[in-house]
Structure 1
Amino acid sequence: MAVLETSSPTDLGLDPERLGYLDEHLRRYVDSGRLAGTLVLVARGGEVGHLAAYGLADRERNVPMREDTLFRIYSMTKPLTSVALMQLYERGLVQLDDPVAKYIPEWADLRVYVMGMGPTLVTKPASRPMTVRDLLTHQSGLTYGFLERTNVDAMYRERKIGMAEVNGTLRGMVEQLAELPLEFSPGEHWNYSVSTDVCGYLVEVISGERFDRYLERHILAPLGMRDTAFWVPPEKRERFAACYGLGAKGIRLIDDPAESAYLREPTFFSGGGGLVSTAGDYFRFCQALLNDGELDGVRIIGRKTLELMTQNHLPEGKDLASHALGRWAETTFAGIGFGLGFSVTLDPAKAQISGTPGEYSWGGAASTTFWIDPLEDLVVIFMTQLMPSNAYNIRRELRAIVYSALTE
């Protein structure tokens, strides 16, 4: 990865003293043992005004956090997958109102859970077909097994839906899903789910190219995202961060970078959460989006398509608080809508966050996050390595500090 150049924050309309609050705040997290390490990037006008690494990428081996550390970005994979599918939309190969069964025939007669389990399972027909937009907006009726809320979640856990060692490939996952009921009829609610993994499968079916190869050819290579992939090759392993979980006595190692499954090239390419990346690489992706889909003369998505993606697609302009079935996501719900792969800020006052209507964002399971604010010409990326992502309120805290630093 090329070294990220930084510019004077003052020249970018950023207050250096207030950006110092950012470093102080993150140091408190690390010095108290709540996080192993952090990396934060703040950019305006396409230039990085603040970049700070602190703490350890690998606590057990005393490896310091670096600007080019490789992180598991988990659900920050979702925006890239969504852009990939919308590239095919721009070629006229898929429409948002296409029934998903057009591409997955086994899903032609999806049914919805009513009650029971096993042989006593009662289902009913879905009120309408699932569409491509339902997948992009998490209104599909699918779910995640880790949510542990319903009997449908339990069925996902029993079959280990989305787990590479069981499903093997994206095709294996959709075959498994064909045998399970939906939590609700498509469009009735918003629910965080494996929908974006299915979007990755649609990219394969529609393009005729394996999903990881499509992503590399149409997004990663054109943008120069050389450190972003579904696995970590041998020559990059020394830069791969450890991953920690929240335990009773502080953080504990849950994925050793010397033994991680990410060290082996997979067969299951999770469009919902499979990528590893660096802050520098992800900045190139974010900056392309902020530039209406183009960076350094390379266009990955059209301006009008991106406008469509970053509008609120929830019915009647609702926010997540009034439309979501569950309460798990990589965002808060009040005052927040959802587009085609991103959360979208509708009302900062209702959301009780600093921000701007129209900004869009998402995060990952290991507490990473990013947001893009077109009005302020702002990109913020935060990388760390702690699961679950709701362990602390750090994302909202970072927003308060960053927005306080804007001077113009």
Structure 2
Amino acid sequence: MAFTEFDNMPQSVSLNRRSLLRGTAFLSASAALAGMPMGRAAFAKMDGTIWKSVTAAVNEYVDEGKVANMVATLGWGQDDYELINRGTLQLGGMKQADGDTLYRIYSMTKPITGIATMILIDDGKLTLDTPLADILPAFANMKVQKEYDGAITEDNLEPAVRPITIRHLLTHTAGLGYNIVQKGPIQKAYNDAELSPGQVSRMKIPGVSDQTTIKGLAAFADKLAEMPLVYQPGTTWSYSVSLDLMGRVIEVVSGMPFDQFLSKHLFEPCGMDSTYFQVPQAQVARFATNYGILGGNLLPLDPAAASIYLDEPAFPFGGAGLVCSPNDYDKFQRMLVGLGEIDGNRVMSERAVRVGTSNMLPETAITKGTWVEGQLFGAGGRVTGTAFGWGGAAGTAAFADIKSGLRAAMFTQYMPSTEYSIQQDFPKLVLKDLAAMPTAPVKEAAEAAAELVDG
């Protein structure tokens, strides 16, 4: 009932905070998965690994010392995934990385927050087009910069022509800024207001981990409402703090703290018992160290034993705050390809999953010149065909194809993610392996993907 209104819905880098925290685009190659007519049954009788290209890449990155470890999980439907893993949790360490290792997933938190929002829509407590100001009145009369990243002065501000909606927040079309994206006066204003919803290290590294964050989601939302928008709402895809703000929306609408809502309505029903905003001290032995790459060398940016993720965060960052095991993220993906169900538990409706993983961009929004040019966007993640997912600032990547049931994710820990190509290469490697499988439709899908990649 909550979805009836959507039936006609349109379908070598310097080491700094901006390059560290922005998640890169990686899903263009996965578009070919759309229309794949088969599921896991086509591969049930195959012996040995069917992911030879993925395995070779994992081995290469670790053996050549590019990363300390790398883990990939690949599965179909509700079947167990195949684990491809190599390396240790720290350089020179003894403990092998595997499906239980804890990784900083950064912006791969965004699809989780987006899908959590769909649960509230599923329950009729929100709609995609509910005005944000109906929930947070401070956002009722927003001003917008006339010149992008220009001066914050009255002559460079104009009233918003339309209200920000939940759809806008989920699809990065609200016009909100991001201190890792914006430049000039608006970036300074975000930093001065402590609107920095992310963390890297306890070490105070200039330009990387020297920003402070305002305490509490309510304070974050109130201060954010005082900032001018960088675009008119609903007009342009622009990576932003909107999924962090969704955390405040979720707690106001649900009547419970955001992190508790995630635990009760998503993590516990999915069996995700290793997903944290704050890593418990008892779990440090499973936690991988995060490395910064400088001059081709790996430097311990956030050692596991002294990680900033052992501290209580300023608030639960819905845009980039989670630490998660490959096992847990695969459960999230398994629930998605299960159309809202996992291990006999109904987490959300099939309709909620289908809407959340499909194109939700407003008809008025453009993507030309952005990271997602020529592609679509759903509830916190990129949409290519029937594949849905996103990447993380420490090199992680994941996508799930709703139609075929394919689940794919890759985990490692290095920053900035743009230093290596593995994040962008991962779906291409998956598709290369699909092309080698003795099933004609898979070959056709991989050939179509090759055209998209080359184009």
Q: Normalization by structure 2: what TM-score?
A: 0.78
Structure 2 residue 378 is matched with structure 1 residue 339:
yes
How many aligned residue pairs are there? 382
CA contact (8 A) 1:146 1:157 kept: no
Are the structure 2 counterparts of residues 68 and 129 from structure 1 closer, same or farther at C-alpha, using a change threshold of 3 Å? same
The equivalent position to 1:85 in structure 2, one of 110, 117, 134, is 117
Partner of 1:142: 176
How far is 1:35 from its partner?
1.6
Partner of 2:386: 358
Alignment of 1:71-110 (within 5 A): 71-110=103-142
SS at match of 1:89: helix
How far is 1:292 from its partner?
0.6
Q: Which amino acid in 1 is paired with 2:117?
A: L
- Structure with the larger RCO, 1 or 2 (CA within 8 Å, 6+ apart): 2
User: Which consecutive residues of structure 1, in runs of 5 or more, have no partner in the other structure?
Assistant: 1-7, 328-332, 346-356
Q: Which amino acid in 1 is paired with 2:176?
A: L
Question: Identity over the aligned pairs, expressed in percent?
Answer: 35
Note the alpha carbon deviations across 1:98-146, whole angstroms, 9 max, x for none: 1111111111110001355466773110111111110011100012101
CA contact (8 A) 2:77 2:334 kept: no
Alignment of 1:61-72 (within 5 A): 61-72=93-104
Partner of 2:447: none
Q: Which amino acid in 2 is paired with 1:169?
A: G
How far is 1:39 from its partner?
0.3
Partner of 1:308: 355
How far is 1:97 from its partner?
1.2
SS at match of 2:417: coil
Partner of 2:311: 264
Distance in 1, Cα, partners of 2:409 & 2:344 = 23
Distance in 2, Cα, partners of 1:9 & 1:72 = 33
Give structure 1 regions of 4+ aligned residues with deviation exceeding 6 angstroms. Answer: none
Alignment of 1:224-239 (within 5 A): 224-239=271-286
How far is 1:343 from its partner?
0.6
SS at match of 1:213: helix
Distance in 2, Cα, partners of 1:14 & 1:193 = 43
Partner of 2:192: 158
Structure 2 residue 72 is matched with structure 1 residue 40:
yes
Q: Which amino acid in 2 is paired with 1:384?
A: T
Partner of 1:173: 220
Q: Which moved more, 1:143-152 or 1:360-369?
A: 143-152
Distance in 1, Cα, partners of 2:301 & 2:272 = 27
CA contact (8 A) 1:15 1:405 kept: no
User: Which consecutive residues of structure 2, in runs of 5 or more, have no partner in the other structure?
Assistant: 1-39, 199-211, 440-455
Distance in 2, Cα, partners of 1:140 & 1:15 = 48
Q: Which moved more, 1:98-107 or 1:57-66?
A: 57-66
Distance in 1, Cα, partners of 2:269 & 2:216 = 26
Structure 2 residue 84 is matched with structure 1 residue 56:
no
SS at match of 1:39: strand
SS at match of 2:83: strand
CA contact (8 A) 2:71 2:410 kept: yes
Q: Which moved more, 1:196-205 or 1:48-57?
A: 48-57
Are the structure 2 counterparts of residues 252 and 175 from structure 1 closer, same or farther at C-alpha, using a change threshold of 3 Å? same
Are the structure 2 counterparts of residues 28 and 372 from structure 1 closer, same or farther at C-alpha, using a change threshold of 3 Å? same
Partner of 1:330: none
SS at match of 1:253: strand
- How big is the alpha-carbon RMSD for the aligned residues of Structure 1 and Structure 2? 2.4
Distance in 1, Cα, partners of 2:285 & 2:197 = 26
Are the structure 2 counterparts of residues 94 and 393 from structure 1 closer, same or farther at C-alpha, using a change threshold of 3 Å? same
Partner of 1:323: 367
CA contact (8 A) 1:9 1:49 kept: no
Q: Which amino acid in 2 is paired with 1:124?
A: E
How far is 1:404 from its partner?
2.8
CA contact (8 A) 2:152 2:186 kept: no
CA contact (8 A) 1:57 1:66 kept: no
Are the structure 2 counterparts of residues 151 and 375 from structure 1 closer, same or farther at C-alpha, using a change threshold of 3 Å? same
CA contact (8 A) 2:87 2:97 kept: yes
SS at match of 1:398: helix
How far is 1:224 from its partner?
1.1
Partner of 1:350: none
Partner of 1:113: 145
CA contact (8 A) 2:326 2:411 kept: yes
Distance in 2, Cα, partners of 1:120 & 1:109 = 14
Are the structure 2 counterparts of residues 10 and 85 from structure 1 closer, same or farther at C-alpha, using a change threshold of 3 Å? closer
Are the structure 2 counterparts of residues 9 and 131 from structure 1 closer, same or farther at C-alpha, using a change threshold of 3 Å? closer
Distance in 1, Cα, partners of 2:236 & 2:47 = 42
Distance in 2, Cα, partners of 1:194 & 1:323 = 18
Are the structure 2 counterparts of residues 289 and 280 from structure 1 closer, same or farther at C-alpha, using a change threshold of 3 Å? same
